[in-house]
Chain A
Amino acid sequence: MRGKKVGPAHVAATLALALLGLFVAGHAQALEWNLQPAGSRLAEEIHDLHEYVMVLVTVIFVGVFGFMFYACYAHRKAKGHKAEQFHENTTVELIWTIIPAIILIGIAWPVTKTVIAQKDTSAPDLTIKVTGIQWKWGYDYVKGEGEGIGFVSMLSTPREQIEGRAPKGEHYLLEVDNELVVPVGKKVRILTTAADVVHSWWVPAFGAKQDAIPGFIRDLWFKAEKTGTFRSQCVELCGKEHGFMPIVVRVVSQEDYSKWVGEKKKEMLAAADDPSKTYSLDELKARGEKVYTANCVACHQPNGKGTPPAFPALDGSKVATGAKQGHIDTVLNGKPNTAMAAFGKIMNDTDIAAVITYERNSWSNKAGLVQPAEVQARRK
């Protein structure tokens, strides 16, 4: 800080600033440096609170360090400043204890109102249950318009983009096969739970975040103020693919919502499978491959070799080549204390029969086909 000592600081600072400048300049992309634009009143209140507190702490910060840097400048030995030996002053010490306490009350008061509002999940127009599953989200419309609709939503970004074999799309890692659709201006209550480990459901634009805890139901609410698509990700570490389970909410007008509900219901009816129907090996394999690619490939790999020991191989495995019952039970009920989920809860008998058939007849496996009825029989 003294004249002759500036050397090292100067060199280091120049170096770092040059690097920083280079990078900011090199990336023309808009820099995100604040909270995402609010899509609900609550999110707006959070923005305001954040700004209010930031202004307050910035003022205090500048004030306190104004003193410190002034002392560094004016009271330095190099300038010949003699130290005064004063210490302890009850008045000063009381002031700097009491004033911060008063400021804190000034902060706590407006925040309290928001906390209470945020917790008020009463009288919703629509209730949706969200289930965190390694590594996808299950959505079930439990009350309100669309009651009975249920689907699983998972990452739709292709593996090739993640592994750098294809250029990354605009919504890289923030796109799903089935978006959650809700009407604008309606109070939506979300019930969260999980099938395996703790996940956390978050939509920043709504200021809505709630952990999804296995075995428990928690809730939150939001009321979207504008239509549009809002994107986010799971925010609680939930294992290997934690970074790959996005949340996408599409907010639509009431009319569009009603239309969507009608279509979705029709679609679900059409897709409903009769578990007593029998299929050929090729039919089951073709359908099973799709199910496998969507649900199994992250752990068991496209070549069925897995990544042992945490994620075992299916190619040549005892389960996938042995007795059918064992294989069906594993897929239906999962394996406790591992990442192997109980798919019986989220898939119908036909999908399970298809994926089991695919696994038993792919790679080097040749172990015969499984019909949906056999899966149905093993359900407890």
Chain B
Amino acid sequence: MSSVVDTHDHSHDHDHADGHEHGHDHHGKYGGLMRWITTTNHKDIGTLYLWFSFIMFLTGGTMAMVIRAELFSPGLQIVNPDFFNQMTTMHGLIMVFGAIMPAFVGFANWQIPMMIGAPDMAFARLNNWSFWLLPFAAMLLMLSFFTPGGAPGVGWTLYAPLTVQMGVGMDLTIFAVHILGMSSILGSINIITTILNMRAPGMTLMRMPMFVWTWLITAYLLVAAMPVLAGAVTMTLTDRHFGTTFFNAAGGGDPVLYQHIFWFFGHPEVYIIALPAFGVISQVIPAFSRKPLFGYASMVYATSAIAILSFIVWAHHMYTVGMPVTGQLFFMYATTLIAVPTGVKVFNWVATMWKGSLSFETPMLFAIGFLFLFTLGGFTGLVLSLVPVDIQLHDTYYVVAHFHYVMVAGALFAAFAGIYFWLPKWTGKMYDEKLGKIHFWLTMIFFNMIFFVQHFLGLAGMPRRIPDYPLIFETWNKISSIGAFGFGLSQLLLLYIVLKCIRSGEKAPQLPWEGADSLEWTHLPTPAPYHTFETPPVIK
């Protein structure tokens, strides 16, 4: 984002806000590429995270296109089953760890210091390192395609003991997961420290913007969950190469143990992805409703409740492994409980809109799209939480539909809302509102075209992760594939909109959204200068 470079010329024009730029608004001693490699500036690093995430989003998206192209018709046409499995595995890993998680860390980097009145993140060099681990992890993942046997074809859940049958690509993937985990843990420690120690005077915890709250809770989830995943894949590694039998019954181990460990990470992971999305939505909806968030305190409590509950529901991903009936009942009750705090959040967002003064710029459209579709995904989640119904639907396309409603219509829509919402603050320029709206409607329509019909496929009995299918499933698969191609192409429009905004967007007004009221809007010029809040603002 070269526009960030341009901003420093203007920064002195904007001293009306808090007037403490000291004329050293530089970008460090390096220019060009070295600037980005050596940067310790939270805004630069936020930008890096976001671009990295977008590249990964397109990479994972291309894999989804391959999957949908193969599933366009019954029979094997384009890829062989082995490569198909590699595609589903890598699509999942790349989207979860490469696209969605880094996108929200990008938002955290840009926004948290500005929202709490801090000059930067607490550990600036660590911040640089957290980001620069990512490209290496991504490279390892991609490299696995070029090893003998290719990338692992085991699904993103990396279930044992299938993982033991894979080639070197599996080991590269394991190392990539280690590095990604390290990056997340370092990033989280940084975020927790920043939020707890660097708030401006008067910015008490219960006055922090919701986005900051959700990230504080998410960061704790990450610190707790990522080491568990690292443990699971390390055990896989030693089972593969060093003769251990953690997941092999012949040596006293248990394949189901892997699933327990994985989902002990995996379910909190769902909320690691969802909570920052909730945070973005909680900034956008009040801004475009011109009305404060209805129940701030109850939103904080609901978020915390979701985070705590997320650690005691993991085995609802495993109802079919053959748990005792008491285990099934416990996990079912605990899972349905999550509906209560999630309901509180949805009701709060709707109540925030109620009797507001609503306008529907692109960020708000994506927020409403999020609210509508995420809730739909929540309801199918409730359906799946019920043991007998889940046993019928487990590992079918119903589950695929369900989690894409949560991950795409949930997390991705929220990320889009955030991009459009903060782009003027970051670049000082406005995006093309008309194109933004087209992007929203295309995304919305094609998304439902892909995934709504997949509920029917799952109900009718189509298993997930199959490269070929019985003839009765053909029509829905065709619709789904066409939707997927449309969805994929529509995302190139986002790229165009962002580039157009950076290059030739109209100058953004100081406050482009009249209802926005957090510190970055009220206390900082637009665009935000390279260094902000060198002396903390005082929050009254």
Contacts and interface: CB of A to CB of B under 8 A. Distances in A.
Interface stretch (A112-120, A145-153, A256-264, A313-321): A112-120
Interface string A77-109: 110011111111100110011001100100110
B392 to A, nearest CB: 5
Contact of B298 (A57, A93, A234): A93
B435 to A, nearest CB: 8
B349 to A, nearest CB: 8
30 contacts: A16-B446, A29-B474, A32-B476, A35-B392, A45-B388, A68-B372, A72-B358, A82-B357, A87-B292, A88-B295, A97-B340, A97-B344, A111-B389, A114-B387, A173-B468, A198-B159, A209-B392, A209-B394, A211-B321, A214-B248, A214-B249, A231-B470, A236-B395, A237-B154, A239-B85, A240-B82, A243-B81, A244-B81, A309-B149, A337-B164
Interface in A343-360: none
Interface string A289-311: 00000000000000000011110
Contact of A237 (B76, B155, B290): B155
A338 interface: yes
Contact of B466 (A107, A207, A243): A243
A68 B81 contact: no
A67 B358 contact: no
A163 interface: yes
Given A108-B333, A209-B391, A215 B465 contact: no
B336 A77 contact: no
A23 B482 contact: yes
Contacts of A118: 387-388, 391
Interface stretch (A4-12, A267-275, A372-380): A4-12
B460 A241 contact: no
A77 B358 contact: yes
Given A16-B445, A87-B295, A236-B395, A215 B255 contact: yes
A43 B149 CA distance: 41
B350 A310 contact: no
A266 interface: no
Contacts of A16: 445-446, 449, 483, 486
B383 A216 contact: no
B167 A243 contact: no
A182 interface: no
Contact of A81 (B161, B240, B357): B357
Contacts of A13: 441, 445
Contacts of B355: 71, 75, 81, 83-84, 86
A213 interface: yes
Q: Which 10 A-B pairs have the closest CB atoms?
A: A215-B249, A218-B322, A243-B466, A32-B460, A33-B456, A83-B357, A8-B438, A235-B395, A12-B441, A309-B148
B346 interface: yes
Majority secondary structure, B binding face = helix
A209 B329 contact: no
Contacts of A239: 85, 153, 162, 165
A237 B465 contact: yes
Given A46-B388, A87-B296, A32 B473 contact: yes
A152 B203 CA distance: 69
Interface stretch (B95-103, B138-146, B374-382): B374-382
B232 interface: no
Interface of A: 1-2, 5, 7-9, 11-13, 16, 19-20, 23-24, 27, 29-36, 42-43, 45-46, 49-50, 53-54, 57, 60-61, 64-65, 67-68, 71-72, 75-78, 81-89, 92-93, 96-97, 100-101, 104, 107-108, 111-112, 114-116, 118-119, 161-164, 168, 170-174, 192, 196-198, 200, 202, 204, 207, 209-211, 213-216, 218-219, 231-244, 307-310, 337-339
Nearest to A206: B392
A292 to B, nearest CB: 19
B74 A168 contact: yes
B478 A27 contact: yes
A75 B437 contact: no
B214 interface: no
A87 B356 contact: no
Contacts of A101: 340
Nearest to B471: A172
A16 B482 CA distance: 10
A46 B356 contact: no
A57 B395 CA distance: 22
Contacts of B90: none
A353 B464 CA distance: 37
Contacts of A218: 321-322
A93 B81 contact: no
Contacts of B249: 213-216
